[in-house]
Amino acid sequence: MKFLSIQSSVAYGHVGNSAAVFPLQRLGHEVWPVATVVFSNHTGYGAWRGPLLPPGDVADVITGIEERGVLGQIDGVLSGYQGSAEIADVILDAVARVRAANPRASYTCDPVMGNADSGCFVHPDIPPVLRARVVPEADVITPNQFELGFLTGTEPQTLEEILASADLALEMGPRTVLVTSVQRPDRPDGTIEMLAVNADGAWIVQTPRLPLKANGSGDVTSALFTAHLLATDAPTALARTAASVFALLDVTARSGERELRLVEAQDAFVDPPTSFEVNRVR
């Protein structure tokens, strides 16, 4: 498959395209990465250098691809952190152009806004744009539990509440919702879950919770789920994604490094060592 992935790029470490591209390639997919920023490292270090690309320049790169006459080959568009409403417009325009060339192309939006620990960490302009304009255009969204609530004006905690919020998200337009980092109050200690919901059902997978918070794991999760979903179905994509991301984080945690060990864990994208049961919950 071929993916157009419009995300941040960092030289050191792995977030945005610098997290999402290699796992897709390791699975045998072509990826056309378009950078929205070119930073030295992710902003979690507190200091970084390099440019935020002007939205017009990002749009220009996409126009250049269009001028090669190849947009119709794209199976999926991926987007991650959107730094401004203007970048959101560029992404929406790219999605429209890809769909004009290939109506079957899928768009996955990771509606990055925050998490349960930090709250909302993006500019206040971003959530309204995601809610009103971006999410309605997406085929797949991959919010974490906090973002699912923030998108839908809810604060889901229990499985039932998360399913109800996911239904509200489906009503906004997407056909599939992947809820990441689900941490229900009644889950077994030391576990973390992921939930996939579509019109046909809802499926949950539980893994051990590892002692780390690695930047970029959400970007890998969103990319892998998108590729597997296009090739299979929601429960299979959920199982494969959970197994590969768990293996990647396990290798990373054992290394003691702060950055994802993508290269070291590469075989786990194709053939993860441990699989986890996927349970149908609706």
Report how far residue 83's alpha carbon sits from residue 249's, in angstroms, rounded to the nearest whole number.
Answer: 26
The amino acid at residue 42 is H
Q: How many residues does the chain have?
A: 282
Give the list of residues 6+ apart from residue 277 with CB closer than 8 angstroms, or none.
205, 206
> Per-residue string for binding with ligand ATP, 83-122, x by CB under 6 A?
--------------------------------x-------
Of the two residues 91 and 141, which places its CB atom closer to ligand ATP in the complex?
A: 141
Q: Is there binding between residue 244 and ligand ATP (CB under 6 A)?
A: no
Q: Which CB atom, from 163 or from 242, has the smaller least distance to ligand ATP?
A: 242
Distance CA 207, CA 244 (A): 11
- Dump the DSSP string for 203-245: EEEEEEPPS---TTHHHHHHHHHHHHHHHS-HHHHHHHHHHHH
- Does residue 2 bind ligand ATP (CB under 6 A)? no
Minimum CB separation from Mg ion for residue 194, in Å? 12
Smallest gap from Cβ 110 to Mg ion, in A, equals 6
C-alpha 92/C-alpha 82 separation (Å) is 11
In angstroms, what CA-CA distances link 271 with 1, 91, 125, 190? 18, 32, 41, 25
Chosen residue from 16, 174, 218, 235 binding ligand ATP by CB under 6 A: 218
Please identify, using beta-carbon distances, which residue of 106 and 207 lies nearer to ligand ATP: 207
User: Should residue 245 be labelled a site residue for ligand ATP when binding is judged by CB under 6 A?
Assistant: yes
152 binds ligand ATP (CB under 6 A): no
The residues binding Mg ion (CB under 5 A) are 218
Given the rule CB under 6 A, which residues bind ligand ATP? 115, 144, 180-181, 192, 194, 207, 209-210, 212, 217-218, 221, 242, 245-246, 249
